[in-house]
Homo-oligomer: A and B are copies of this chain.
């Protein structure tokens, strides 16, 4: 799960991972009750649902996590994530921190990465540089960034997005390394130990 300050470039990082390693990654697509915006496609940006459908999904435990913002629901469909994991792909979710921590609680093996620009000044420049925002907008974005980063200390990894290329490779490296975690490999080591014991027995006969 990838989270980060607004303007940290986490969306771009995810797109780059998929473009560079299409066989290794799948993007988790969220579901929402908000209206599709122009250019958004069903199953690409979101799975669009009615409130009734969404609440049905909640009742059926079909969501890994969900939250309500203003008047709309947003959530992560369980079935889609499980399908992709079965194909042995790394499923990436772009998600805010509170949702990520909820998923981590249910699935402790989930990997949490937090992306940040190298400094607050760079973050400010990125938020301003996006367009012709008024000082009020910049101010409110900065304030929201602070709020949104609440709890990021509980994340597993911090990645600095200074140079995009380096940052994408850092994220990829961290995810690859996770596959070598001993707790995911206990059955392999048990098998080797068991086979070694059989070999020793054989030598004794």
Contact = CB atoms under 8 A, between A and B. Distances in A.
Interface of A: 5, 114, 116-117, 119-121, 123-124, 135, 138-139, 142-143, 145-146, 149, 152-160, 170, 173-174, 176-177, 180-182, 185-186, 188-189, 191-200, 203-204
A181 to B, nearest CB: 6
Contacts of A139: 200, 203-204
A43 to B, nearest CB: 32
A138 B203 CA distance: 9
Contact of A123 (B149, B181, B196): B196
B182 A174 contact: no
A191 B153 CA distance: 12
A189 B156 contact: no
B195 A119 contact: yes
Contacts of A170: 177, 180
Contact of A180 (B142, B159, B185, B193): B159
Contacts of A177: 157, 170, 173-174, 177
